[in-house]
Structure 1
Amino acid sequence: MAGIYIHIPFCKSKCYYCDFYSSVNLSYKKEFLNALFVELNLRKDFLEKQTIKTIYFGGGTPSLLSAGEIQAIIDKIQATFHVDYEPEITIEANPEDLIQIYIKNLATTSVNRVSIGIQSFNDKNLEQLNRRHNAKQAIKSISDLKSVGFSNISADLIYGLPKLSLKEWENSITDFFKLEIPHLSAYHLTYEENTVFGHRLKKGIISPVTEIESIAQYKLLCQMMSDNNYQHYEISNFCRPEKFSIHNTNYWNNTHYLGLGPAAHSYNGNIRLWNKSNLAQYLSNLSERKLPPHEKEILLKTDKFNDYILTGLRTTKGINLTRIQDDFPDFLKNTKKKIDELKDAEDLCSFDGNYFKLTEKGFFVADAIMEKFIITN
């Protein structure tokens, strides 16, 4: 099984925290769709005829595409690849785009999962992030999605915002519960260099929350999600039973995927490649039926092992020593040594059968723990 990711590189405006590649020039949308279909044909052998289990529209803002455009892309994928009988097909959407007529049209497509970039149910925080919607629009978009039959819905929330109080964060989580959404992706704000927030931080205009505040907000999130029967299945993701994101879970399980569009990444077990973040070059190359500008990495055994560590320890499943013994025997001794060094840190990690995994407290410092296992060439 494999997945396909489509990067839709358009936004009406840039959020102050976001460093994902996008353009606010929507006049290239038709040209982009034509180029995307060409890239689909040129890349059709990358996944070596594997069955496509998931299709994911990310961005950017995929909800800037019409329902007809979305279905046209799905139809092209189904005509080019062998797609599973019941694939998970996700679209990321912004609440302000999810007006009733758009949702009604979206329901006629093959999309069966909607991931909504809500970020906060607090209008003050939304303005701070330069989001284009308000809390009322977010709540209504979810109600309208449910009214036409969408049930597999996910929401994104951000914590760790400058001056975000614990009470404000608690209120946003509580508002999330009221809407009975089966999946939540909750991310701590990171200050990326080429963003408005990154520039403001550098100039001293804003200050990050303290480590104590970050930990308190994370602990509150984990506790409230657990109290309301949500499974914490990955560092930033929570779900009701069987409502996990199949597409993203496949990433963490090292499943192969094809990425289409500028800035999209692809992986087939032996090769990792990524298109350059340049829409103009993307369109130019594909207009001549040439692959878009991209970079490629041939994966060594150490790269594959490191990928397994970095993805596996993000999940509650963890890493499997039997798999390491079978697939990466040269690194088994060092892995066991690192696990042994962490045996006294029971609050950060645990060992369950052949699986070594992080606790919720360990998730919060996952980068530091993962670094201990990484093999450098």
Structure 2
Amino acid sequence: MHAAVRGIVFGTVALSLALTTAACGSADEAGDNADSKKDKKGPLTIGLLLPENQTARYERFDKPLMEKKIKELAGEDTKILYSNAKQDANLQQQQVDTMITKNVDALILDAVDAKSVSSSVKKADDRDIPVVAYDRLAEGPIKAYTSVDNPRVGKIQATSLLKELGDKADKGQIVMMNGSVTDPNAKMYKEGAHSVLDGKVKVGKEYDTKEWKPENANENMKGALSSLGKKKIVGVYSANDGMAGGVITALKGAGFAKDEMPPVTGQDAELNAVQRILTGEQFMSVYKPYVPETEAAAKFAVALAKGEKLDDIATSKTDSESEKGVPTIIVKPLPLTQDEVKQYVGKAGFFTAKEICTAKFKDACDKAGIK
């Protein structure tokens, strides 16, 4: 039943940020505007700012993969300056200021708060430091953008949940645990999910979870259980794996036994989530191929740092609220249920069998054919 998810064909999604072939605005001229970088002598200096460390992916995959590709493209002597904002928007703005002070040649930015960081992006642009928006579409004069197909993520989660519910979809209610309102991706996940779920299942309670924090999702889920009652909840749409962990803890606390746990979705294919999927505690996650996404960011940053145009790198254009025609690469996400875990084990951007199959999860790994 789970494997059928892979056969789903998704139609064209009307994104809240428009992907368009028409180019206009300052971002379209990113290569032309960076001419002053062309005569730079010595190794490049690239800044990398990631948003938080609660989600293991950033330190485990995004950072090392990006650093590896940057040095592959620009040379081993390339300097990479890194900071993590730990989910603090004010701290991240300070980190951008530091990167400007250090006069980096390009900056890769995964925004904590896409809107509030716009003034910092403008400061960088004023200093001729091109900014690549990574994973989240930061506002301000960004020069390039790469992410996954975010509405598709929501569609994958919702379609998987509906298929797992089957006839139960008509016999109860689901809880929707969306992400933070400061993250533009959260809005797209939610819209993608609603496009599938609306009219097919009743949403009993829905939350926009502050800062994506598992503890906030846990409190929200306790509230939903109190409001709706344990027996009426047949499934939970959770926008990512961290929140899914908080949701599952609340469900266990409410007395759900393992064999009666409602299906809970997730995203990011975190190690704890992969292990929960193998044991049946969590129904599914979404695997986002980090290699092509990080490589796209590295290619954009190095090209911009050298003053090169992005025509041969970008595959589409994106309009944000403040910029038009931003050179873009969008990566396709994939569903991850018990049936899919085995095929990714050991691949770049995923965990090894040794990492997954600790003593506690050996039986689950054996059952899934992971050795």
TM-score (norm 1): 0.27
- More strand by proportion, 1 or 2? 1
